[in-house]
Amino acid sequence: MRCLNFPTYRFGSDSRWSCSRERRRAQRGIFRFILPSLVLLVSQLCSAQDLDTVTIAGHVTDQNGAVIPGASVTATLVKTKVWRTVVADGDGRYKIIQLEPGAYSIKVSFAGFAAEEKTDLTAIAGQNVQLDFTLKPAGVTVETVVVSMAEAPQVDTTRTIVGGTVATREIESLPVNSRSPLDLIFTLGGVAEEPLSNRDLAEDRTSSRSTPEEAGIFSLSGGTAYSNNITIDGLDNNDDRAARERFTPSIEAIDEVQIIRNQFAAEYGRASGGRVNLRTRGGSNKFRGRAYFFFRDESLNANTWKNNSLGLKRLPLHDDDPGFTLSGPIRIPKIYNGHDRTFFFTAYEYDTLLDSTLINTLVPVQQNPLFPLPEPTTLTGQRLENASAPALNTLISPFITGVSTPQKNHVPGASA
């Protein structure tokens, strides 16, 4: 690599920067700063598909219904103050595409007319909002007419999909025992757990390979669970071998959980079942943070009917899950100020789960030395089992025991 042309700095009398070890260190320092910045920029540009963004469109007219061409329409995202402006065409139509989901303030202005502003307009991922404006002559009314849209639900009449969305408020309010954002889809209609799923069965957690699954963990509108498409911010998150998600971010980092249950258009691609999209949170102009600690223990739970029928106590369970979130504008003192421009969000939790599972099966009372099996834990309920013919009757008895299945998870979540 050739030496970069750095400016000359004096230290003392005759000390100068030269193409030496000090300059190479400076070059490496710059590259270490530039490379993460490029990664953050690419992740922001490729964070979602166009079909998961928001489109706001409508007409601008006067009180008599005449169109107002050339009207200026500005959409401002409330949390970041990032704005986009378009100009209405000759028919008074405007359209603002590829907007980030969230709460917006829309303002329309034109010379000779009082500006009109509609606030508290909340749009979810993939929504097309139809918003028309009627401007009044200036001087007849106040300079700016402000209308709150908080109590007016936005109905999207342009899409033919069937589904639902769990928004930020529901995510923060609903209790989720597993701390998995994907479990929130069971609060929506048309979603059921796949009957053939083994999601709650024990796995060999000491093995480098997980237990293969023939089906996913949920079914949408009665479709096959292994045909669903799971995405994060529109990007692929499918484990094709296990027919489920590849990565589950922290629920604290999720802003929306959206499902599409019908046979959607080809633009969504890939799946013949349904689609689940997790949209992550972003930062704002204010630094915000949260620290939390979730705790579970078997002493707080009732025993299950199955354990009671077998005369067993509650299985051991202890779960500690501390974590934090932090968001705000990106600021580098004396170098860069990301206020109103660049933001970050990070979340992290460390889940320590000391769980147990119950093994309840039948084993032969008389052991075969060639195929050793555990001894029966009780001879109560023993019976003869006809394997293939009466001559092969085998005396079997229950084997019931609890097995510890500990687990530790580092659950991140970040965006920029």
Judgement on whether residues 253 and 334 belong to the same structural domain of the protein? no
Judgement on whether residues 358 and 385 belong to the same structural domain of the protein? yes
Domain boundary among 239, 261, 280: 280
Judgement on whether residues 306 and 263 belong to the same structural domain of the protein? no
Model pLDDT, residue 38: 42
Q: Is residue 382 part of a domain?
A: yes
Judgement on whether residues 271 and 327 belong to the same structural domain of the protein? no
Looking at the DSSP assignment, which residues form a beta bridge with residue 404? 356
Judgement on whether residues 179 and 270 belong to the same structural domain of the protein? yes
Number of domains in the chain: 3
Judgement on whether residues 66 and 183 belong to the same structural domain of the protein? no
Domain that holds residue 99: 50-148
* Model confidence pLDDT, tens digit, residues 401-410: 888 989 998 9
Q: Is residue 348 part of a domain?
A: yes
Domain boundary among 253, 280, 307: 280
Model pLDDT, residue 195: 65
Model pLDDT, residue 42: 44
Model pLDDT, residue 212: 46
pTM above 0.85, yes or no: no
The answer to whether the CB of 361 falls within 8 A of the CB of 398 is yes
* Model confidence pLDDT, tens digit, residues 311-320: 888 999 999 9
Other CB atoms within a 10 A radius of the CB of residue 301 amount to 11
* Model confidence pLDDT, tens digit, residues 107-142: 999 998 989 999 989 888 888 899 999 998 887 656
- CATH number (domain holding residue 269): 2.170.130.10
* Model confidence pLDDT, tens digit, residues 218-255: 888 887 788 888 999 888 888 877 778 888 899 999 99
Average pLDDT, the chain: 79
List the chain residues with pLDDT less than 70: 1-51, 140-143, 149-160, 195-215, 263-265, 269, 386-393, 416
- CATH number (domain holding residue 78): 2.60.40.1120
Judgement on whether residues 271 and 347 belong to the same structural domain of the protein? no
Residue of 249, 263, 304, 77 whose CA lies nearest to 163: 263
Model pLDDT, residue 380: 79
Judgement on whether residues 177 and 239 belong to the same structural domain of the protein? yes
Domain boundary among 113, 148, 183: 148
Model pLDDT, residue 256: 93
Judgement on whether residues 218 and 243 belong to the same structural domain of the protein? yes
